[in-house]
Amino acid sequence: MPRVAIPVTQITRAGVAAPTEVNGDATNNHQVNNNGRVVLLVRNAGTTVARTVTLRLPGMTDGQSVTPKTVSIPQSTSRYIGPFPTDAYGALLQVDVDNAELKLLALGV
C-alpha cells in the first residue's frame, strides 16, 4: 500500500485552527509534502515506553544509502522536529513510525 499522507497546515498571522492528528501507521508509514519549511509535531500517546520516528533520507553517498535520522519520543510527550531542507530530505519527506501510539501533525511556515 502507499504511504499515508500527513497534510501540511500552513501557519498564518491570522491564526489557524489546530489540525487533526494523523494516527501512526507502522505498516504503511507516512509521507509529507516538503518545501523546506515544514515542521513535524510528533506525540507519543503511550504511557509506558518511548517510541521512535524515522526520517528517511533519499540520497546516496558513494553508492551507499544515507542512514535515516531517528528521533526518540518519550512516553506521554511531544517533540517538534524540523525543518527539513529539500536538498537533504527531498520534496516528499518519508516518515516511518514504530507504533500506532505516535500521532503526527505537519506545520508549514
- In the predicted structure, residue 20 carries a pLDDT above the cut 90: yes
- pLDDT tens sequence across 37-96: 999 999 999 999 999 999 999 888 888 888 999 999 999 999 999 999 999 999 999 999
Alpha carbon distances (Å) from 41 to 1, 63, 80, 102, 106 = 24, 32, 5, 10, 6
State the total domains in the chain: 1
Distance of CA 45 to the CA centre of its chain: 15
Give residue 2's pLDDT: 93
Range of the domain at 44: 4-108
CA–CA distance, 89 with 14 (Å, rounded to integer): 29
CA–CA distance, 81 with 107 (Å, rounded to integer): 10
Residues 5-25: what's their mean pLDDT? 96
User: Which of the 8 DSSP states describes residue 96?
Assistant: E
- In the predicted structure, residue 1 carries a pLDDT above the cut 80: no
Give residue 60's pLDDT: 81
Give residue 65's pLDDT: 87
